Structure 1
Amino acid sequence: MSGLTCLDLKENNLAGSIPPEIGKLKQLQGLYLNKNKLQGHISEVVCYLFNLVELVLHDNEFSGLIPECLGKFSMLQKFYLGSNKFSSKFPLSLWKMSGLLYLSVSRNSIEGEVPSDIGELKAIVGLYLHSNHFSSVIPTRFGELQNLQYLDLSNNSIFGQIPLSFANLISLEFLNCLQMHCQVLFLCL
């Protein structure tokens, strides 16, 4: 099956870890393993899937480190890791994926700050970071995300003021900042 371009195994109660054989599917563009009972680390074999456009792993029991190598996937547009057990810091390489359209790491225990590199997500449309342990001020570079339509930062330890650069988010349709330690300034979005 080396020519396979899509592998959809969602909602099957699969348990265990991602099998190493998946790394041999070099033509794979879509990998959908969501809503299973997969656990452990995201296997490094996923790093060999350079043609991935969509990687959907939400609603499992993955934990440990999110592989840094995923930030080198130039074709990746949709990356869903929500509702897992990740607790480490988010790899800096993932904040620089200029072609990424949707990123969800919601409902994990990810720590650290939201870095200023977030401004490199030039194409991002949906960014879901809610229900984690992000702790920092909101970077002013959020204002560079001109395509951003959906932003959820709620239920984190983010503090300070919402930057005035948010007024530059001309495409923004949904913003959730509930249960954060931020001062909301009136913005005409």
Structure 2
Amino acid sequence: MNDLDVTGQIPEFIGNWTKLTILKIQGTAWRGPIPSSFSNLTSLTELLLGDISNGGSSLEFIKDMKSLSTLVLRNNNLTGTIPSNFGEYSNLQELDVSYNDLSGSLPSWVSLPNLDLNMKKTEDEEELKSVGHDKDTQMCMKRNRIIPQLK
């Protein structure tokens, strides 16, 4: 559903398409929040949601999407923290959660060919050094602002 002239809220019924393997919603005038029913889409291998106005959702809906190889959630006004269970996404090759309102610790296991975080906040600079330590990782973190961890 790229570049379609559709408006309104993202339909909840899309979450009923449980055999769907690829979902791309970008360049539409749909607005969020992202329906909680999207958590039913556990067969997805590619999820690309971009430029959803009023996204205002957390990343909770992706917690069981462990078949994903591509996860692009760019510019959706997502809030909350990066899930700690991303280590269970063994097929994940591309992760782009840029231009959202995400924060939290970055898992040290992150080593993907394509990684675009551009998070507003992360806990400390040492975490950033351990992210994407694989020499083949392409990384973009230009918007990151280091927030000192309170102890």
Q: TM-score range by the shorter chain?
A: 0.7 to 0.9
Query: What SS class does the counterpart of residue 95 from structure 1 fall into?
Result: helix
State the shift of 1:90 in Å: 0.7
Q: How does 1:172-183 map to 2 (within 5 A)?
A: 172-183=112-123
The change in CA–CA distance for 1:173 and 1:96 in structure 2 (over 3 A counts) is: farther
8 Å CA contact 1:64, 1:86 repeated in 2: yes
User: 2: distance between equivalents of 1:174 and 1:154?
Assistant: 12
Q: What's the CA shift for 1:179?
A: 4.8
2:31 paired with 1:91? no
Separation in 2 of the partners of 1:96 and 1:148?
Answer: 18
Query: Is contact 1:63-1:85 (8 Å) kept?
Result: yes
Q: TM-score, with normalisation over the residues of structure 2? A: 0.74
Aligned length: 128
Unaligned runs of 5+ in 2: 135-151
* TM value normalised by structure 1: 0.60
Among candidates 92, 96, 104, match of residue 160 of structure 1:
104
Q: Which runs of 5+ in 1 are unaligned?
A: 1-56
Q: Distance in 1 between matches of 2:106 and 2:38?
A: 23
Q: Deviations along 1:99-155, whole A, 9 cap, x unmatched? A: 11111111222212111x423112111111011211111111222211111110011
Structure 2 equivalent of residue 123 of structure 1: 67
1:181 is aligned with what amino acid?
K
Q: Are the aligned partners of 1:119 and 1:145 in contact in 2 as well (CA < 8 Å)?
A: no
Higher relative contact order (CA 8 A, sep 6+): 2
- Find the structure with the greater CA-based Rg: 1
**Residue of structure 2 in register with 1:78 after alignment:** 22
User: 1:118–1:142: 8 Å Cα contact kept in structure 2?
Assistant: no
Give structure 1 regions of 4+ aligned residues with deviation exceeding 6 angstroms: none
